[in-house]
């Protein structure tokens, strides 16, 4: 659970790129849960960013989504009862949440999301499920109250992502800068072995064998994963877990990923159920050449420069925090707060067209 809390503290960050949840690693010893308390008024203020009030209801929604990401990364559908396990992280998460709200406040002055694109994303997500009931179950299992709640999050990600990209595009880095960074940080480009894997998680061996037969008959792996996988983190991505190094997965899954055949269907059992998996790519340990590392270096330097500039803009916004309001977790039996709609406009404190700083 210590690993859970650390991950939760980091999940509130403003980085746009999201890591695809992996197959659950071995569990750690749970930390004592903070006692729950009766539900408070969702309109209670937990902070202010510029002229904008931040309510407890908004905080609870963000905290629920962050906790759900952590739980989903362990291959477990989210339930509100899990929130008490993360209660000790609430005050620290409030700091990150206020930072994120400041980022969003700045971003929505400069960037907007295309409603049609948001509708398309929502329709694409719904299309992976046979019924509205199945879709709602999936939404609940990932921390969302309903499809509008998901749309709100898609809008926030699009606005913040677009804003950070515009900041990042203002910075360029020449070959000498890139080569210097590479020389000073060569250890970062020494790669461990890596496997890229997709999987379908089901409860029983019989179900796994049926899926293997379906795949052999020509069924589409991604479609089967979306319909049948019990891993809420990877199922929407067609079972894709991305790439990972040795020792990051539970033992049986790790062995299949690094010792099993590439490109062939395998089945393994773990404490989470039966995995039907395919290793799509595997690379050996080694040093990444400068030519291959250069795009990664430029991307990192651009992200860092954009983040530094963003931090200077956030520092100009007056922020107040009331951590005493969030110190005690609400009762798991309390109803989840409604998703807060995105404000139509940001306070005047946010600069409309920030100038590019000299070249994080």
DSSP run (H or E) holding 70 = helix 56-73
Tokens of residue 294, six digits: 């250069």
Greater confidence, 341 or 90?
90
**Tokens in use for 163?**
């804003």
**Cβ pair 21, 233 in contact under 8 A:** yes
According to DSSP, residue 42 is labeled T
Q: Within 13 A of 176's CA, how many CA atoms are on the CB side?
A: 0
- Does position 217 have pLDDT exceeding 60, yes or no? yes
pLDDT the model gives residue 333: 55
Residue, of 49 and 329, whose pLDDT is higher: 49
Residue ranges and CATH numbers for the domains of the chain are 2-170+301-330 (1.10.4030), 193-284 (3.10.50.40)
Token readout for 348 is 């005047």
- Using one digit for the tens of pLDDT, what is the confidence trace for 232-256? 989 999 999 999 999 999 999 999 9
Mean pLDDT, the chain, whole residue set = 84
pLDDT digits (tens, 9 = 90+) for 171-183: 999 999 999 999 9
Model confidence at 340: pLDDT above 80: no
Local confidence band at 39 (pLDDT 50, 70, 90 cut-offs): low
Structure tokens at 300: 């990192």
Tell me the pLDDT tens digit for each residue of 16-38: 333 333 333 333 333 444 444 55
pLDDT at position 75, please? 82
Nearest CA among 7, 127, 152, 23 for reference residue 68:
7
User: Using an 8 Å Cβ cutoff, are 50 and 66 in contact?
Assistant: no
Which H helix or E strand runs over 315? Answer: helix 290-315
- Eight-state DSSP code of residue 83: G
Residue of 115 and 355 predicted with greater confidence: 115
- pLDDT score of 165 more than 50: yes
Lowest mean pLDDT among 89-93, 208-212, 339-343: 339-343
pLDDT of residue 192: 86
pLDDT for the residue numbered 137: 95
Query: Based on C-alpha coordinates, what's the Rg of the chain?
Result: 22
- Residues 52-67 pLDDT 10s: 999 999 999 999 999 9
pTM: 0.60
Judge whether residue 8 has pLDDT over 60: no
């Amino acid at each position: 659970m210590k690993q859970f809390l650390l991950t939760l503290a980091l999940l509130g960050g403003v980085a746009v790129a999201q890591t695809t949840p992996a197959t659950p690693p071995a569990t750690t010893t749970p930390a004592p849960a903070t006692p729950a308390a009766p539900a408070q008024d969702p309109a209670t203020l937990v902070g202010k960013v510029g002229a904008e009030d931040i309510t407890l209801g908004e905080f609870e929604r963000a905290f629920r989504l962050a906790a759900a990401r952590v739980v989903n990364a362990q291959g477990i559908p989210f339930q509100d009862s899990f929130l008490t396990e993360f209660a000790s992280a609430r005050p620290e998460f409030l700091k990150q949440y206020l930072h994120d709200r400041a980022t969003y406040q700045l971003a929505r002055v400069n960037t907007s999301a295309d409603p049609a694109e948001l509708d398309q994303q929502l329709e694409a997500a719904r299309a992976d499920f046979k019924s509205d009931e199945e879709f709602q179950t999936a939404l609940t299992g990932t921390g969302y109250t309903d499809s509008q709640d998901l749309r709100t999050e898609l809008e926030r990600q699009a606005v913040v992502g677009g804003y950070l990209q515009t900041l990042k595009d203002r910075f360029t880095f020449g070959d000498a800068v890139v080569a210097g960074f590479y020389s000073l940080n060569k250890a970062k480009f020494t790669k461990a072995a890596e496997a890229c894997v997709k999987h379908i998680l089901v409860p029983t061996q019989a179900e796994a064998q049926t899926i293997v037969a379906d795949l052999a008959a020509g069924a589409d792996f991604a479609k089967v994963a979306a319909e049948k996988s019990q891993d809420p983190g990877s199922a929407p991505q067609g079972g894709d877990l991305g790439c990972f190094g040795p020792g990051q997965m539970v033992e049986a899954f790790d062995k299949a990923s690094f010792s099993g055949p590439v490109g062939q269907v395998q089945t393994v059992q773990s404490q989470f159920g039966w995995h039907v998996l395919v290793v799509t790519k595997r690379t050996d340990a080694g040093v990444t050449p400068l030519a291959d590392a250069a795009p990664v270096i430029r991307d990192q330097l651009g992200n860092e420069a954009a983040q530094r500039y963003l931090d200077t803009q956030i520092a100009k916004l007056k922020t107040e925090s009331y951590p005493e309001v969030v110190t005690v977790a609400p009762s798991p039996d309390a109803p989840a707060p409604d998703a807060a709609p995105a404000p139509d406009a940001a306070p005047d404190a946010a600069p409309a067209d920030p100038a590019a700083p000299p070249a994080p």
